[in-house]
Amino acid sequence: MNLAPTGTLRAVRGAVVDVVFDEGDLPPVETALLVDDPDRPSPLLVEVHSHLNPTTVRCVAMGSTAGLARGTPVRATGAAMTIPVGPNVLGRLMDVSGTVDDGGPPLAEDTPRWPILRLPPPLAGRGARIELFETGIKVIDLLSPIAQGGKAAMFGGAGVGKTVLVLELIHAMASGYQGTSVFAGIGERSREGHELLLDMRQSGMIERTALLFGQMNEPPGARWRIALAALTVAEYFRDHQHQNVLLLMDNVFRFVQAGAEVSGLLGRLPSRVGYQPTLATEVAALQERITSLGGHSVTAIEAVYVPADDFTDPAVTTIATHLESQVMLSRAMAAEGMYPAVDPLASSSSLLDPTVVGQQHYTVAQQVREVIAHYRELQDIIALLGIEELGAQDRRVVGRARRLQRFLTQPFAVTEAFTGKPGRSVPLAETIAGCSAILSGTTDSWPEEAFFMAGTIDEVRERADASMKAGAAA
């Protein structure tokens, strides 16, 4: 049996190409083919997605098909698409085919390659112990804690701070855990990819990070497969190097969007809201591979764009079903300048349980939510009648809620160049202590502005003392 037959290009329709094999068996679905166009420096990578008839396969291209001609020879590889893995890829930026795009030398020829299509680990082999991943971001650690080996996502519309949060988490991983990071840029703008590469080099984080990009100007096939390629790189470090890995994906909605484009190009009938009929299967194939194995973990932090701020969108709800922690970003809070603009009531985590985080953490988190929820109930009354019309108890609740909201803001290291404020990373114990002090009424006499963009409660106390002394002197 001929395992690697040779065919010819029959038709090109945008990112979809048809290839005819007159002899031998047809290449299996989800295997890679190489189009040997003499006018290109390297063969074009395409992936088989359906058998049209006994001699023809339909494929999705991972690069531009401009200039391809009928009759161009095509080679079957007999295997799935592969990506370079291992220590050699750290500090490098690659595309979906494993080509280095950072202007540096090519990867060493002995760099191992793994297929990007892999089965998730069996349930019996997965880690059962839960360890929290402290991010140093107060509102996330308190209200939506993340587990090592778990999956967390930042949901939000355009311009509310998803990418900034992801970049801050890369910084936290590099400075606090000294771990390995893998960044998947799915449908990113070229400007964002360039800025990320420069920031990584300047901060010194690039040496422990592998960057993989399927950018917005690339065909949908490249944007669709880059997430699986990045996950494969992370799995290698987990399984062979026995390291804990932080996998960051920005933006998972673009992964779904690219899959919808591929589905349409292949002629499949759309499902709800125009999404692909295989939406749930494709998202599960990505998310179920993210887990702990053999005492080491892949922890995923995902940014998810919410189209038109509609959190009931099928893509958003499908992604959310696989997550332990959901961080919801609020446009209203961003408009008020409350950064990170995390909605403390909408955000959630399955780990926020006294048996996992401890009774004190759980109790403080619940009390914080209750106070902020009560404040929101009173906001309409305050807007109509003024805060003076509230009772003494309600006025106390409003004051503490406003201080909590401001205390849960903090400056980020990655935004220091724009804000002029050095970043703050706050240990979870300090966050709990600060919120407990506010809830107990210890800080009721402190000015609200002292809490805004601060780190620990001690820093807030220093600001409050300085403010009150300045007021007394005046």
Nearest 5°: the CA angle 399, 347, 370 is 35
**Residue 171: per-residue pLDDT:** 77
Number of Cα atoms under 13 Å in the Cβ half of residue 25: 9
List the beta bridge partners of residue 184. Answer: 212, 249
Distance CA 360, CA 364 (A): 6
> Residue 343 class from Cβ within 10 Å (0-12 exposed, 13-18 middle, 19+ buried)?
buried
Residues 344 and 368: beta-carbon distance below 8 Å: yes
H/E stretch holding 51 reads: strand 44-53
Residues 9 and 68: beta-carbon distance below 8 Å: yes
Please provide residue 13's backbone torsions phi and psi, each rounded to the nearest 5 degrees: -125, 90
Residues 291 and 297: beta-carbon distance below 8 Å: yes
HEC-encoded secondary structure of 262-296: HHHHCCCCCCHHHCCCCHHHHHHHHHCCCCEECCE
Residue where the block lists tokens 């329709």:
13
Residue where the block lists tokens 């047809």:
26
Which residue type occupies 248? L
Residues 59 and 23: beta-carbon distance below 8 Å: no
Residues 286 and 214: beta-carbon distance below 8 Å: no
Residues 323 and 284: beta-carbon distance below 8 Å: no
- The pTM for the full model equals 0.91
Q: What share of the chain is helix, strand, coil (3-state, %, to 5)?
A: 40, 20, 40
Which residues, including other chains, have CB under 8 Å from residue 377's CB and lie 6 or more apart?
none
Residues 181 and 246: beta-carbon distance below 8 Å: yes
Distance CA 474, CA 469 (A): 9
**Residue 178: per-residue pLDDT:** 66
Distance CA 376, CA 333 (A): 12
Which residue type occupies 3? L
**Residue 1: per-residue pLDDT:** 41
Q: Sign of torsion, CA 26 286 261 317?
A: positive
* pLDDT tens for the chain, residues 1 to 474: 445 689 999 999 999 999 999 888 899 999 999 999 998 999 999 999 999 999 999 999 999 999 999 999 999 999 999 999 999 999 999 999 999 988 889 999 999 999 999 999 888 777 767 888 889 999 999 999 998 888 999 999 888 988 888 888 877 776 666 678 899 999 988 888 888 888 788 777 788 889 999 999 999 999 999 999 999 999 999 999 998 899 999 989 999 999 999 999 999 999 999 999 999 999 999 999 998 887 888 999 999 999 988 999 999 999 999 999 999 999 999 999 899 999 999 999 999 999 999 999 999 999 999 999 999 999 989 998 888 889 999 999 999 999 999 999 999 988 887 888 899 999 999 999 999 999 999 999 999 999 999 999 999 999 999 988 887 776
> Residue 350 class from Cβ within 10 Å (0-12 exposed, 13-18 middle, 19+ buried)?
middle
Q: Which residues are catalytic?
A: 162, 188-189
Distance CA 222, CA 81 (A): 11
Token output for 386: 């003024």
Distance CA 328, CA 126 (A): 28
DSSP string covering 392-434, please? HHHHHHHHHHHHHHHHT----GGGHHHH-PPP----HHHHHHH
H/E stretch holding 84 reads: strand 82-84
